[in-house]
Amino acid sequence: MTPYRRLPHTADLRLEITGSGFPQLVENAGKALTALLTDRRKVRKTLSRAIIIEGENPEELLVNWLNELIYWFEVQKILFADFNFEKLVKGQMKVTAHGEEFSPQKHILKDKPKAATYHLLNVEKNADRYIARVVLDS
Amino acid sequence: MTKTLAKLEKLDEYRYLIPQQGKMLTSGLIYASSPMLEKILEDRSLEQVANVATLPGIVGCSLAMPDIHWGYGFPIGGVAAFSLDQGVISPGGVGYDINCGVRLLTTGLSRPQLKGKINDLISRLFAQIPAGVGSKRKDLRLGAADFKNVLENGAAWAVEQGYGEAADLSCIESSGIMEEASASLVSSRALERGRDQLGTLGSGNHFVEVGYVAEIFDETAASVMGLFKDQVTVTLHTGSRGLGHQVCDDYIKVMLRAAEKYGIYLADRQLCCAPLASPEARDYFAAMSAAANFAFANRQILSHWVKESFLQALHLSPRDLDMNLVYDVAHNIAKKERHRVGGKTLELCVHRKGATRAFPAGHPESPERYASIGQPVIIPGDMGRYSYVLVGTQQALEQTFGSTCHGAGRLLSRHEALKKARGRSIAAELEAQGVSVRSAERDTLEEEMPEAYKDVEQVVQVVQESGISKKVAKLRPLGVVKG
């Protein structure tokens, strides 16, 4: 299965993300978010940030994770190309994100997600794979 | 078609009922024409109308305006009122872009006076008004105290700083200030997102449009609003930017826990809510109000730069330009209002998500200037066709808690629009139609092209014929700045 893909949605952005486990799902979700914003291949890995996310369940962790990445882009002006899931303990998830500062000339913006929502949100485990579907307001 | 939709009852030419059933506490009432309904039935927005009807303390029907489409929890184009003592408030009933709204400005100019000058004017607007993702103003730096003032005083703060006139405030919904706002209930993350965004347009379907009055339907109302045929106008559409989005996200988390705490059944997680009498609800209302004030201030500041752009591009004096604010309305907001229901006056919390307030003539909350005609309603269409100016009616007050539609609604997804636009120059097509366009982002023009939207005329026809609003004028575009 592809790590992520766009699903049809009239007004906003809808993603389907997969992973061989929850850690990979989270990493792929990060990549999917960046891929919405710009060509991920053009984002170098010149800096790293340790990002901590809290949530009571996989759906909440996913929404909070995507919203955190939107914040990093919008306010800190950083795009991330790659991610390393470090741990998830008692509802607190730590991910190291690798990327670079946003450059409007280099990173041509595609979609403009403004928030991940709970609309049609679903994180499920089928056999050995996690599949998540999420809608982002744009 | 779902079970709910199969039971749709036609009340009359423009109203359809979803009868109360299952967990619904009331019926759903949809304003739409028959051809529009066929399109509406293609997504699940009517299910969302039925879901809203399950929320406790709902008063009257769960309403849907004719521009209804699929949203988060509440449909876009949804209106629902809840009693203050028994009902709930839901961030999903307001939307992420809190107080996304629109204002209409008039000028003393006629269309012929812009001949040969529109491109320069649009370029000047594009230069003066930061647009696009991450846009910020270099000339507006807010300290913490100032920012608090913006969030608690809204458009009044902007006027104090010299943006516009004090008289503008009477032509803004709620006088441009939601009194219950509290900056302390807005998270530091939301403040961070909003701090550099005041005075910017944003992206997506936000715009500044220079147009003209193409047609007048109601001469009396038009005259009171100061509209005349061929008059040059400006329509401005934007909201609370990243700050509003963050407030919504922050309080969805609060409300998910609150719904569980208070034992509220949620047909959809995005309907998460809390009883209006609860601390969670009070906090959300205060934070939502602060975000709404940010948007009111934002539109007031942007109007100043619109005016400056006109003065500079056209080499006019302010007196010759004679720019005035007709009205400024919100279309994503929750308001505490008094309404007559079943012979009693009730205090209600009215959610309008992708819907516009439309109060009638003589209503105490309508501006005195418009007491004889009703509150102006501005309904933007797409950037190639037309927009409308209407007024609210007594029928709206009686049937829809004084609410009406807000715009056209998307027909094509952004992805579909980009596909359809491949190999075409939408800018050139619009120029050929006499519409000059500038856009901050690549792809925005394609994503926002006219074909991507429904025809707003059909939407306006429904509200006109059903009596919940009355047409005053039709505006056509001459130039647009898109985010």
Q: Where are the domains of chain B?
A: 3-482
| pLDDT given for residue B289 in this prediction | 98
Give me the sign of the Cα torsion angle B141, B146, B150, B153: negative
| pLDDT given for residue B445 in this prediction | 85
| pLDDT given for residue A112 in this prediction | 86
| pLDDT tens, position by position, B200-229 | 999 888 999 999 999 999 999 999 999 999
CA distance A85 to chain B (A): 23
Average pLDDT for chain A: 94
| pLDDT tens, position by position, B339-377 | 999 999 999 999 999 999 999 999 999 999 999 999 999
A52 touching chain B per CB within 8 A: no
Asked if pLDDT for residue B3 goes beyond 70, the answer is no
Give the DSSP letter string of B416-453: HHHHHHTT--HHHHHHHTT-EEEESSTTHHHHT-GGGB
Q: What three-state secondary structure class fits B236?
A: strand
CA distance B226 to chain A (A): 35
| pLDDT given for residue A128 in this prediction | 82
* C-beta atoms of A74 and B133 within 8 A: yes
Asked if pLDDT for residue B1 goes beyond 50, the answer is no
| pLDDT given for residue A45 in this prediction | 98
A38 touching chain B per CB within 8 A: no
| pLDDT given for residue B2 in this prediction | 46
Residues B288, B98 contacting (CB under 8 angstroms): yes
| pLDDT given for residue B6 in this prediction | 54
CA distance B444 to chain A (A): 9
Asked if pLDDT for residue B42 goes beyond 50, the answer is yes
The C-alpha atoms of residue B314 and residue B309 are separated, in whole angstroms, by: 8
* C-beta atoms of B245 and A109 within 8 A: no
- Average of per-residue pLDDT across B127-132: 89
- The domain made up of A4-137 is a member of CATH 3.55.10.10: yes
Residues B471, B49 contacting (CB under 8 angstroms): no
Give me the sign of the Cα torsion angle B265, B267, B268, B270: negative
The C-alpha atoms of residue B300 and residue B306 are separated, in whole angstroms, by: 10
- Average of per-residue pLDDT across B285-313: 98
CA distance A110 to chain B (A): 7
Active site amino acids of B: 406
Q: Which of A74, A109, A121 sits opposite B269 (nearest CB)?
A: A121
A119 contact residues in B (CB cutoff 8 A)? 71-73, 268-270
* C-beta atoms of A11 and B412 within 8 A: no
| pLDDT given for residue B447 in this prediction | 86
Asked if pLDDT for residue B245 goes beyond 50, the answer is yes
- For residue B70 the two structure tokens come to 């699929």
The C-alpha atoms of residue A88 and residue B52 are separated, in whole angstroms, by: 35
* C-beta atoms of B412 and A9 within 8 A: no
**High-pLDDT (> 70) share of chain A, %:** 99
Tell me the CATH class for B3-482: alpha beta
| pLDDT tens, position by position, A61-87 | 999 999 999 999 999 999 999 999 999
A77 touching chain B per CB within 8 A: yes
* C-beta atoms of A115 and B249 within 8 A: yes
Q: What is the largest CA-CA distance in chain B?
A: 64
CB neighbour class for A41 (10 Å; exposed up to 12, middle 13-18, buried from 19): exposed
What lies within 8 Å, CB to CB, of B172 at 6+ separation is B103, B155, B296, B300, B325, B327, B328
| ipTM of model over 0.90 | yes
A10 contact residues in B (CB cutoff 8 A)? 43, 69-70, 410-413
Asked if pLDDT for residue B5 goes beyond 60, the answer is no
Count CA within 13 A, CB hemisphere, residue B111: 16
The C-alpha atoms of residue B390 and residue B158 are separated, in whole angstroms, by: 27
B238 touching chain A per CB within 8 A: no
Of B106 and B142, more confident? B106
* C-beta atoms of A138 and B414 within 8 A: yes
pTM of the model: 0.96
Asked if pLDDT for residue B4 goes beyond 60, the answer is no
For B113, B131, B161, B431, the CA distances from B127, given in Å and listed in that order, are: 22, 9, 22, 19
Asked if pLDDT for residue A99 goes beyond 80, the answer is yes
